[in-house]
Amino acid sequence: MEAHIPKDQGQPLLQSQDDEWSAKEKDIDNWLPITSSRNAKWWYSAFHNVTAMVGAGVLSLPYAMSELGWGPGVTVLVISWVITLYTLWQMVEMHEMVPGKRFDRYHELGQHAFGEKLGLWIVVPQQLIVEVGVNIVYMVTGGKSLKKFHDLVCSNCKDIKLTYFIMIFASAHFVLSHLPNFNSISGVSLAAAVMSLSYSTIAWTATLKKGVQKDVDYGYKAKDMTERVFNSFSALGDVAFAYAGHNVVLEIQATIPSTPEKPSKGPMWKGVIVAYLIVAFCYFPVALIGYWIFGNKVDDNILITLEKPVWLIAMANMFVVIHVIGSYQIYAMPVFDMIETVLVKKLQFRPSTMLRFITRTLYVAFTMLVAITFPFFGGLLGFFGGFAFAPTTYFLPCIMWLAIYKPRRFSLSWFINWICIIVGVLLMILSPIGGLRQIIIEAKNYQFYS
């Protein structure tokens, strides 16, 4: 016989279940790294964006210039700066376009634009490739800069393998990765932003002091046309890698408080403008002065080309290490958030310090092992730069904008978005080809774990 619950008794029962469920959800959100703290100021957004954007990629810009040449090199740099600032503005605007709702994560915005399932499949793999890829590249960069620092300071010492330096660099992350959320790493991020400005300034001022080299050559290093084309493809990836802060922009904005009267996009955009002015101040002098002084003899990391003054270059390499420590954390935080969300919400694990400790330690160990196995810095930049950075930075925000706002066909907004999409798709197709070729060339003479 069917049990009959009177309407007025059934209602409170459902109500209490809903309350219990929403309280549980709230507890989980208060535990997850992205949504647990929303009291950031606008300047947090500025230095988080500088830390995310001005990575070690800036040091490879003179090399990218040498493979592109003056005209194409300057064009690509300027166009990239303009397009990525525009797509960053779009993401800041879209963060709270639905009244009363915030898209705290890149994939949540993707789900709103493309649908619940398709949005996840479009955004999450690309975002993970970018964030995990950056973390691996930064492990290599941190290790290489530590090795360079050691070799400069102690030139008569016994040579130590790069592997050990990558492990020393990783040891910092085995500790720092246990900071719970974005706001808790703001001190590390601020130090990293200051360091990026410092080593960029050292890179171009020390280069300028050297003066134009006697045998400077602005022609292409590659002698035949095929190699020239492949090298320029790889250089496009280097530039794309240098403009990669979009993958964490919604997560950074999620930490800023918001009310209907004072939405978070105001302080966030203020921070972005400051960050982009700093980006211009770091990128353009390093790229243009580095190429002007050394021509096509510049290395894929400008600090390697600069041997003297020894104390200054050693200091710059140490600044790179400190900056990359902060940058690694900024890119790792959304990955931790994804892993912890799946474990707690899908697999019903209990939110705990132990769960966090195990997952984050395993992640740092994974990125360290991959970095030790494949430490090809230049090729990795080109490959990852095009493969995943171009979509998430150059054209995914534009596709979302077209899908959500549906601007009139052939209007200015429609044209601008389609131009960005075309540029981004070309970058995505061409640069991994050059990067992969470079990795293959470097891998020929490479011995594993040497």
> Secondary structure of the chain: what % helix, strand, coil (to 5)?
80, 0, 20
Helix, strand or coil, per DSSP, at residue 402: helix
Q: CATH number for the 37-444 domain, one of 3.40.50.720, 3.40.50.620, 1.20.1740.10, 3.40.50.12780? A: 1.20.1740.10
Distance CA 199, CA 415 (A): 38
pLDDT tens per residue across all 450 residues of the chain? 444 545 455 555 545 555 665 777 777 888 888 877 788 888 888 888 888 888 767 888 999 999 998 999 999 999 989 999 999 999 999 998 888 888 988 999 999 999 999 999 989 988 888 888 889 888 988 998 899 899 988 888 888 999 999 999 999 999 999 988 877 888 888 999 999 899 899 889 988 988 888 888 888 877 788 888 888 888 887 887 788 778 888 888 988 988 888 889 999 999 999 999 999 998 999 999 999 998 888 887 787 777 777 888 889 889 989 999 999 999 999 999 999 999 998 898 998 889 999 999 999 999 999 999 877 655 666 676 677 778 888 889 999 999 999 999 999 999 999 999 999 898 888 878 877 777 777 777 766 665
Nearest to 386 by CA among 183, 186, 235, 277: 235
Other Cβ atoms less than 10 A from the Cβ of 450: the count is 8
- Beta-carbon contacts of 254 under 8 Å, excluding residues fewer than 6 positions away, are 34, 35, 38, 95, 102, 104, 105, 182
Q: Please measure the distance between the N-terminal and C-terminal CA atoms of the chain and give it in whole angstroms.
A: 76
CA angle 356, 359, 365 (to 5 degrees): 130
Report DSSP state, residue 58.
G
Question: What tokens were used for 305?
Answer: 């080309």
Half-sphere exposure of 76 (CA within 13 A, CB side): 30
Domain ranges of the chain: 37-444
Half-sphere exposure of 361 (CA within 13 A, CB side): 7
Query: What angle, 0 to 180 degrees and rounded to 10, lies between the N-to-C axes of helices 106-114 and 116-153?
Result: 150
pTM of the model: 0.86
CA angle 132, 137, 310 (to 5 degrees): 150
Dmax over CA atoms of the chain, in Å, equals: 98
Nearest to 380 by CA among 108, 135, 46: 135
Element (H, E) at 219: none
